Structure 1
């Protein structure tokens, strides 16, 4: 009894809810129908031919636009359809012999377009818009609708109106299928995709025709019909399948292809890493403390370098080794920072002077000698309100390089070449004026640095050339893999077999950075350089010893630059100045910081020199410009083949 009462209560609630929704939505629905236009009658007739199962289709429709303007109707007919359970193929339908007429005199020009597996039919004149009610008759043929011998039945499983196909409301919908006599079953479904709701009526006539009807289809709803005949009724009817490209069937990953591709990739990548590790392993003198070389020029016993060998602190740079060479030896790369440190080193050694200037204004040099104009404060630069700033008026910071010496005989080739290219147009040049030529200047200096460290026999081969050879081999493997992938794609072969050379090519290119190898002599100098780096990184102010007037700060600053320790090195000498030590002012750099203020605000000088180094490094940048054939009698809307959609255009 309780269950009966509850069921009755729920039924009443549902009825009341339905009535309320009908009252609230009835008027807007009618308004939408009138505003959007609708097809007030749709009659589809298909006559099936026993030989081959082709269908002659006639579509008659009444397009009621009301006050809305449009050119006419358009229909979309499916030709390629996905197959449930078969991702490797499409079901093909062939639409042809399309005609269109209007019995009410509306423009009936026909435009047929094929795109993305569908035939698009546009009826009307694109230069003429119409309103009101118009009748159209569209005919076409379609092959491939019949599913032969499905569980002993030749079957028509046809999406007459595809779910989601029409943008307009369809009223008075009827479908007539005329085929061979002897149909053994028929069904009709209506609604959204997957719906099993039956059509309003289904009638079989004595003339071997079945008629299905539906009073109304809302926008997006579909209508699917199913008819069956004994197997063999349609002779020669076949489902036409065409290949469908998907990621899975393109790659064709199977246990066999996966094992082949994976094995080849692992072997190739492993071989590349092993070769790079073996050839890129540094040599070292065996039995000697790191940093020492055999006495008297003896060859000594050479073996593989152990990265676990301890490095002893060294208080001076390696003898006769300039900062750019140290930087190249340390990381096997002659990078722009090494060239910038070389410029500063040449300035420290008296070959040029670096002057800070204000560009964009009067382009005047800003001296740091005591007699220049700096505002009211003694020794202070002109900074507006308050001290500590470094504003120099309008304009951007720039640097002028001034050549001081002409005798270059004591310099290395890369140093001479760098000076000659910087001062090619005269004894003084602004960094901004070098922008157009600095890319070539930088690349040439880097090339010469590589040549120098190679000529000194610190590397078994030019590091840059060694890396380029490996990069070239990696790029070749990448190209080979790309070509193989394209060929496999064209041949419909497993594309995954083109992956190994691509992956191995990438590994070879990555391994190129480890390919250069130092000789035993180069490893000995590297140990000395790393020992000196340890000193620069750990030295405290009270440990610094230098003679009066000796500018130890400037001498070691370029080395600190290549190791990224310039700020720390400046801070150490600032601490010395605070303890009353007489720390010389660098004479190779003319900037905005006075002698009195230099070591009280070393961060300003460090930032300024750092800014110059960054400019010297990055100037190169500014210079470089149902379809599967399953039975439809347990099916639903959208489960068949084909499908028509459309609206007005």
Structure 2
């Protein structure tokens, strides 16, 4: 240890560390009176008491000389205690509306240290003992109207605290104004001391400077004193739509949420599609009931509910099939009368009918005993309650977890609200802090949610099983049908099956099964004209009820 300190003292003596780095003052030189606004940094009398030892650990001695060419010749002496080290990252690009750019060259190092110069910073590393670094700085002098301004950070960016800074600045002319600031970047705390001695040397003193903090010196000189070397680069503001860490993280989180949501929906739909794709064996929805063969739908689903479960919305065919089913079940009858069709009441609605079936009866006949399709075309048919009851029924039977129409509408509204919020956010972010990609991401997310709204209502497992069973019923309707049904039961089986054939799109094929049957109990007219009745009723319902 003593050997290290002895070597340090020897180097100090050789380098003149015990002598001032600035020129020796002339006894008859004038004393510079600093501006009044620098009073906090200028003592009225020179510091008294013993001078700090130049070998004080973590001390810095900096001498700056401004040449006629406008370049700064800087000498830094750094003393580091035994087994210690200090590293400085001095910025060479300082933001000030535009970037003020400095360049450092002609660097020489004596002692236990090294340097590195890049376009943006000057890195200085010093090990134990005394390290002396000399270099030239371009970019410190700018013209500012009737004067010149010289600015340089005497120190700053050290990775350890600086116990003592002694600095000097010499220029060809006396400074007319001096600003010396110490502390964190951007702070306006004045240095402890900044005064000019009789030798026209500006001396700065600062102690106990925390790690990372700087001492920034700005000196004003008469215009034309030295060459101008200042260089400024326009600050290229990143586009509001540039990818930034903030926008990148935000978009990533948004994408994660969207992908997760769509993945869950995809899994639900995949389960549903697998159920629908599973091979279905022959289904014979015919059961023996008291010695009679009757038609029984799977899971008790009614004709009007079939379409709602299969395509997840109420269609005109669902209402048409319900009207036909009410006739088959002896609540109505259908009559061909002149050039029109008439619905006649046979039995009043009772508790055996579901809510939506009673709503269909009320919408068509109300309190009347009969009504023609011509009358219905002119009365403004309202099927709102039918739609409401059908959607509520499929939820009540646990074929859906929520009403499909509300599910689609809710997600679509949410999607459009997100898109509108994204547009507003994009405009606000563009005009303020940037990161406008977050707004565009929100717009895209909203449009994605709105576009995917029609896929949102997923059937329950029970609903998927029902759709698979209905595929079996469709196979029954397309197959042999009631070929083996006893003659006494054939009319009833054919009639009860017909509304399901209508809603499943097998009307023409199923009506062909009625060959040989006449005088149907629920239909008065030529059976060959029944498809025309169904088409007219379907068109009436679609137009009046706003159903697809």
TM-score by length of 1: 0.41
- Using CA pairs under 8 Å that are at least 6 residues apart, name the structure with larger relative contact order, 1 or 2: 1
Q: Which of these two proteins has the greater Rg computed from alpha carbons?
A: 2
